[in-house]
Structure 1
Amino acid sequence: MRIEQFLYITEIAKTGSIATAAERLYVTSPGISLAISSLEKELGVKIFERSRTGLEPTETGKKLILKAQNILNCIEEFKDEAKIDSSDIKGHLSISSDPALCRSIMPKTSAELKVKFPGITLQIKESPTSQVRKDVLNGDADIGLVFYPSSSPKENQLLTTTHIIDSIMMLCFKKNSELASKDIITMKDIDNYPLAAILNENDRKYHSQIFGKHNKLNILVQSQNSETKKYFISQGLAVGFEPDLTIKSDPFYQGGDIIAKPVLGIDLKVSYFSIRLKRRFFSAAEKKFLKELQYQASYFKE
């Protein structure tokens, strides 16, 4: 048996397709098919069986694939150990990120990483937190950046979660609003103000937890585009909540037409995390990326 056979079966287990695995690994489909047939013949067991959706591991195959992944992880760890403190670390990382982190901490993180480790390249995709989770779980992203931990026990079993930063949610409103004259703002003060919000199903649950008895707010506009609510707020048509890390990094909020203040009496704090699959090898490039991300996050809080 050969190491590349282990690589082939683990990749097919992720994709369910020889053709897709071949495309990702830059080899031919017939080459992969021949290698797997040879491995099955050598072991005397069937690793995959065909289904309507593609190739599925057999029960024995699942155990062998897990062992193969562990072996591949050990090989990568062995190679990385020699260069963990070196600027010569190489690797391509796919990052799926929530907009708030993507537009605040990620640009500086990417720039610093490029200077310190020129061999590490990043592919960054901005997505809602729900999509970020799917990207990581499906193997389409090495690391995901999300703004709340998973409430799914199944996901928690599959993912490793690392805290990045906490951010206070601030109330944003037009500078000539009556709210601008208040030194202290409470939820009662904004009961009658229309709200601009981004609320998908997961956000609704989080929204309810934060606002409690105030969760029946007067919502004027709902949009999955984080840019939309800014324009309603800037015209004085609505108020909205944004994490302070967004406010500090977004020129729109720094322009002076919108004022941001905390709201008294409610814990309006959101926490941001990185997520990755537990079963995947945690490469030196990924470690350096997360270390730099956490460093930039700590700097951002100052």
Structure 2
Amino acid sequence: MNIEKLEYLVEVAKTGSFSIASQNLYVSQSAISQSIVSIEKKLGVKLFERSRGNSAILTSEGEEIVATVKELFIKYQELIEKAQIINNNVNGKLKISTTPGFFAVLLKPISSIRDDYPKINIEIFQKPGQDIIEDILEERSDIGVLPFIKHLLENNDRLVYHNLFEAKMKLMVNKNSPLAEEAFVTPQQILNETLITYDGEFIHLFKKLFYKQFGAMNELFTTTNTDTLKKAIEENLGVSFVPAFNGVNYNLSDDVILLDIIDYDAVNLQYVWIMSSKKHCSRMIKDYISKLKEELNS
């Protein structure tokens, strides 16, 4: 019995389906089915109740076995990591997906973690929140940093998330806009403006709640290109909702400013970091998150 077969077992238990587990692991369904049968014969225990449609329901004995296997996975990953540390040979990649504006905050922690683990390669991807979640689920990234999106993160057993820092939604406007005469704006003042929207799940949710409470706005366009969005604000074509926090850097020109939004509690945001529930949180990831928190609090 090898680690790979045990991984198949955990995925079938998690998904309740041989076919879905096959898709998630990029392994043929027959290979997974044969591995499960092999494990059952080896242990002398029936792990699943099979039914039509390739569904698989854990037996009571199977639930106990899978719980133990999950613990074994963690110990196995810890063993590999410990051996690498002992040999000063921690290598591989640290892949991070994050939302626009957050890249600058990552730089010092990245430099610091690279000093501690000189043999690793680091890759960073800048994407909307829903794409970050997909990156984690498809194992294209190790960790993601994004605003908390309740319906995508809460009760999702394929992901784990941890609070990272708090932020506020602000309004990006042209310096020549009448709104720029004050340091803050009310929702009622915003309603009369033309909205330019970043095409991210969290921004769309914020907009939806705003519209529900105060009414809809005239919308010019939606984009995932932050340079296009900023260019439109520079030309005074509209305004945009953007998250703001300590260390955020949108590389704004002198023609663009951020205004506080008052009299609306929903501007308070929670950012989280996420990773796959089936992956071990390595010492390197823990060290990186610790350095990131230090940078955010500096």
TM-score above 0.5, yes or no: yes
Distance 2:11 2:258 in 1: 48
Give the aligned residue type for 1:261: L
**Residue of structure 1 in register with 2:16 after alignment:** none
Give TM-score, length-normalised by structure 2: 0.75
Say whether residues 1:291 and 2:297 are aligned partners: no
Distance 2:201 2:25 in 1: 35
Q: Is the 8 A contact 2:48 2:58 kept in 1?
A: no
Q: Identify the match of residue 263 of structure 1 among 246, 261, 268.
A: 261
1:204 deviates by: 3.0
3-state SS in 2 of match to 1:112: helix
Q: Is the 8 A contact 1:47 1:57 kept in 2?
A: no
Q: Report the CA distance shift for 1:141/1:69 in structure 2 as closer, same or farther (over 3 A).
A: farther
**Residue of structure 1 in register with 2:17 after alignment:** none
**Residue of structure 1 in register with 2:238 after alignment:** 238
1:122 deviates by: 2.8
Q: What RMSD in Å do the two structures reach over aligned CA positions?
A: 4.0
Q: Is the 8 A contact 2:96 2:143 kept in 1?
A: yes
Q: Deviations over 1:205-261 (max 9, x none)?
A: 33233565224122222223333221111101111122224994232x1x2121222
Distance 1:166 1:211 in 2: 23
1:174 deviates by: 1.7
Superposition map of 1:60-139 within 5 A: 63=63, 64-78=65-79, 80=81, 89-101=90-102, 103-139=103-139
Distance 1:212 1:170 in 2: 18
Superposition map of 1:137-148 within 5 A: 137-148=137-148
Q: Is the 8 A contact 1:147 1:271 kept in 2?
A: yes
**Residue of structure 2 in register with 1:28 after alignment:** none
Q: Is the 8 A contact 2:153 2:159 kept in 1?
A: no
Give the aligned residue type for 2:227: E
Give the aligned residue type for 2:197: A
Greater alpha carbon shift after TM alignment, 287-296 vs 222-231 = 222-231
Q: Is the 8 A contact 1:187 1:214 kept in 2?
A: yes
Q: Is the 8 A contact 1:148 1:273 kept in 2?
A: yes
1:168 deviates by: 2.3
Q: Report the CA distance shift for 1:181/1:206 in structure 2 as closer, same or farther (over 3 A).
A: closer
Give the aligned residue type for 2:254: G
Give TM-score, length-normalised by structure 1: 0.74
Q: Is the 8 A contact 1:91 1:285 kept in 2?
A: no
3-state SS in 2 of match to 1:238: coil
Say whether residues 1:274 and 2:273 are aligned partners: yes
Distance 1:231 1:247 in 2: 22
Aligned length: 289
1:276 deviates by: 2.0
Give the aligned residue type for 1:278: S
Superposition map of 1:78-227 within 5 A: 78=79, 80=81, 89-101=90-102, 103-151=103-151, 155-199=155-199, 203-209=203-209, 213-227=213-227
3-state SS in 2 of match to 1:151: helix
1:73 deviates by: 0.6
1:283 deviates by: 1.5
Greater alpha carbon shift after TM alignment, 122-131 vs 233-242 = 122-131
1:37 deviates by: 7.1
Q: Deviations over 1:140-172 (max 9, x none)?
A: 433222212423586444432211122222222
Distance 2:9 2:44 in 1: 16
Distance 1:202 1:249 in 2: 19
**Residue of structure 2 in register with 1:43 after alignment:** 43
Q: Is the 8 A contact 1:46 1:58 kept in 2?
A: no
3-state SS in 1 of match to 2:101: helix
Q: Identify unmatched segments of 5+ residues in structure 2.
A: 14-19
Q: Report the CA distance shift for 1:122/1:11 in structure 2 as closer, same or farther (over 3 A).
A: farther
1:66 deviates by: 4.8
1:75 deviates by: 2.6
Greater alpha carbon shift after TM alignment, 106-115 vs 204-213 = 204-213
